[in-house]
């Protein structure tokens, strides 16, 4: 499996992915548990993730773009239900891009509704789609319920509507009053569309006391090991491990600096290790300690050490002064992500979120899939 030309190794644990789905499915029951596999399954790879989720029991998948929907269809065959969250994309050919691969658009505007209903009018039977109700994101979906019900005629279910959905603004904040306000708006919307499935919950919403699971939940982040309950222990298993080899080590004297623009100054005689990973591999440019950012840690031979100086495009540098010399020589590996450093920690240390860390995972690593 190992790509001999790649330095870093990204290991993806498909058994952990399947286990995470099963845990969320148990929590959601009797509601159905779907899976959000947009953005290349949050960076880990649609072609590996979708079949692993299907084998675990998942049958309903959500993607952002129509191109991702086609990849899921190719990976899973006819049995899976695939919703395109972006809706009926303005640049897509509805017949070729939605009808042929049997993708269900999540329709969120009058113009999309008109386009879709016109397209399917002369089909033998109505083709399923979803209705997106905006309850506070102000991003996609019908904000006006009268407009939403008007767009689909008197009984939407008769035109193929299969799902009414909306999306939380802050479900990772259990005490945020917006959660209750959105639930109330969604209840009102749902009443207008009898006889179809309802879906509101992303990963974190499945852990809210209100349990807004309805008929179908749509977890993404938690499937991939992200913590749906920030500040509390993470109930999910990590799916990604990223290990990067040391290329060189050196000693520098107190007062010397590391990297571009001399952003980090050694306070003592310091041993450094240069790692073969940089921002071109998707690590945030803020991963190294500078005057403005505290920076992230990596783990070498079981011990944490700090990334120091501004991250380069292809390289970064760790302070390995406190690691025994024999444990941190060229060829030894530094763990950037794994059992000791999760995506949530790395995101927080770099001033971003774990979602961003995952979806930025670069293309220069050897990708090793386990547990499939």
Closer to ligand PLP at the Cβ: 39 or 277?
Answer: 39
104 binds ligand PLP (CB under 6 A): no
Q: For ligand PLP, which residue has the nearest CB? A: 220
Closest CA to 197 of 175, 178, 214, 177: 214
Quick one: which segment of 17-25, 92-100, 216-224, 287-295 binds ligand PLP (CB under 6 A)?
A: 216-224
Distance of CA 304 to the CA centre of its chain: 26
310 binds ligand PLP (CB under 6 A): no
**For this structure, is 260 an active site residue?**
yes
Give the whole-angstrom CA distance, residue 236 versus residue 229: 10
Q: Binding ligand PLP by CB under 6 A: which of 36, 81, 283, 316?
A: 36
Distance of CA 301 to the CA centre of its chain: 29
Q: Give me the least distance between CB of 118 and ligand PLP, in Å please.
A: 25
221 binds ligand PLP (CB under 6 A): yes
Q: Name the catalytic one among 98, 224, 260, 365.
A: 260
226 contact partners, CB below 8 Å, separation of at least 6: 203, 234, 236, 343, 344, 354, 355, 358
203 binds ligand PLP (CB under 6 A): yes
Give the whole-angstrom CA distance, residue 86 versus residue 98: 12
Q: Name the catalytic one among 38, 83, 221, 365.
A: 38
How would you classify the pairing of strands 257-258 and 303-306? unpaired
Closer to ligand PLP at the Cβ: 128 or 220?
Answer: 220
Query: Could you give the string, one character per residue 147-186, with x where binding to ligand PLP holds by CB under 6 A and - elsewhere?
Result: --------------------x-------------------
Closer to ligand PLP at the Cβ: 174 or 245?
Answer: 174
- The size of the interface with ligand PLP (CB under 6 A), counted in residues, is 11
135 binds ligand PLP (CB under 6 A): no
Quick one: which segment of 214-222, 239-247, 261-269, 306-314 binds ligand PLP (CB under 6 A)?
A: 214-222
Q: Give me the least distance between CB of 132 and ligand PLP, in Å please.
A: 8
Count of CB atoms situated within 10 Å of the CB of 95: 10
Q: Give me the least distance between CB of 343 and ligand PLP, in Å please.
A: 12
**For this structure, is 38 an active site residue?**
yes
Closer to ligand PLP at the Cβ: 36 or 357?
Answer: 36
Identify the bridge partners of residue 273 per DSSP, sorted by sequence position: 249, 318
220 binds ligand PLP (CB under 6 A): yes
Q: Give me the least distance between CB of 127 and ligand PLP, in Å please.
A: 21
Q: Helices in the chain by DSSP H: which ranges?
A: 14-28, 38-42, 46-56, 66-76, 110-120, 145-151, 178-192, 343-349, 354-359
- Within 64-93, the residues that bind ligand PLP by CB under 6 A are 85
Q: Do the Cβ atoms of 220 and 202 come closer than 8 Å?
A: yes
Burial 306-332 (b: 16+ CB within 10 A, else e): bbbbbbbeebbbbbbbebeeeebeeeb
Closer to ligand PLP at the Cβ: 36 or 272?
Answer: 36
Q: Give me the least distance between CB of 39 and ligand PLP, in Å please.
A: 8
197 binds ligand PLP (CB under 6 A): no
Identify the bridge partners of residue 133 per DSSP, sorted by sequence position: 142
CA distances from 222 to 136, 234, 333 (A): 22, 9, 27
227 binds ligand PLP (CB under 6 A): no
202 binds ligand PLP (CB under 6 A): yes
341-346: list long-range contacts, CB under 8 Å, 24+ apart: 341/296, 341/297, 341/298, 341/299, 341/304, 342/225, 342/227, 342/234, 342/238, 343/224, 343/225, 343/226, 343/238, 343/240, 344/226, 344/227, 344/230, 344/234, 345/296, 346/287, 346/296
57 φ/ψ angles, rounded to the nearest 5 degrees: 125, -5
Closer to ligand PLP at the Cβ: 136 or 219?
Answer: 219
Footprint of ligand PLP on this chain (CB under 6 A)?
A: 36, 38, 85, 167, 202-203, 218-222
Question: Known catalytic residues?
Answer: 38, 260
């Amino acid at each position: 499996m190992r790509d001999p030309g790649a330095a870093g190794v990204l290991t993806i644990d498909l058994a952990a992915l399947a286990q995470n789905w099963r845990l969320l499915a148990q929590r959601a029951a009797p509601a159905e548990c779907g899976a959000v596999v947009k953005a290349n399954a949050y960076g880990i790879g649609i072609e590996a993730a979708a079949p692993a989720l299907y084998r675990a029991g998942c049958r309903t998948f959500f993607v952002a773009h129509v191109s991702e929907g086609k990849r899921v269809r190719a990976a899973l065959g006819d049995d899976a239900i695939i919703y395109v969250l972006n809706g009926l994309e303005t640049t897509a050919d509805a017949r070729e891009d939605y009808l042929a691969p049997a993708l269900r658009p999540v329709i969120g505007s009058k113009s999309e509704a008109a386009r879709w209903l016109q397209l399917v009018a002369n089909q033998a039977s109505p083709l399923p789609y979803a209705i997106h109700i905006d309850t506070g994101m102000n991003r996609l979906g019908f904000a006006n319920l009268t407009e939403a019900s008007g767009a689909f005629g008197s009984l939407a279910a008769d035109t193929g509507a299969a799902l009414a959905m909306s999306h939380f603004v802050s479900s990772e904040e259990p005490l945020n009053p917006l959660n209750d306000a959105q639930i109330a708006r969604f209840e009102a919307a749902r009443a207008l569309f009898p006889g179809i499935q309802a879906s509101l919950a992303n990963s974190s919403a499945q852990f809210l006391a209100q349990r807004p699971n309805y008929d179908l939940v749509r977890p993404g982040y938690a499937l991939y090991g992200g913590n749906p309950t920030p500040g509390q222990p993470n109930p999910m298993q990590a799916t990604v491990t990223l290990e990067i080899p040391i290329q060189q080590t050196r000693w520098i004297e107190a007062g010397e600096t590391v990297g571009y623009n001399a952003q980090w100054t050694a306070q003592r005689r310091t041993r450094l290790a240069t790692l073969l990973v940089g921002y071109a591999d998707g690590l945030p440019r803020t991963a190294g300690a500078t005057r403005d950012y505290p920076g992230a840690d990596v783990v070498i031979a079981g011990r944490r050490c700090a990334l120091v100086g501004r991250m380069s495009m292809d390289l970064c540098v760790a302070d390995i002064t406190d690691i025994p010399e024999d444990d941190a020589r060229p060829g030894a590996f530094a763990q950037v992500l794994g059992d000791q450093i999760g995506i949530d920690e790395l995101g927080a240390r770099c001033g971003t979120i774990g979602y961003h860390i995952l979806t930025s995972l670069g293309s220069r690593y050897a990708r090793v899939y386990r547990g499939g």
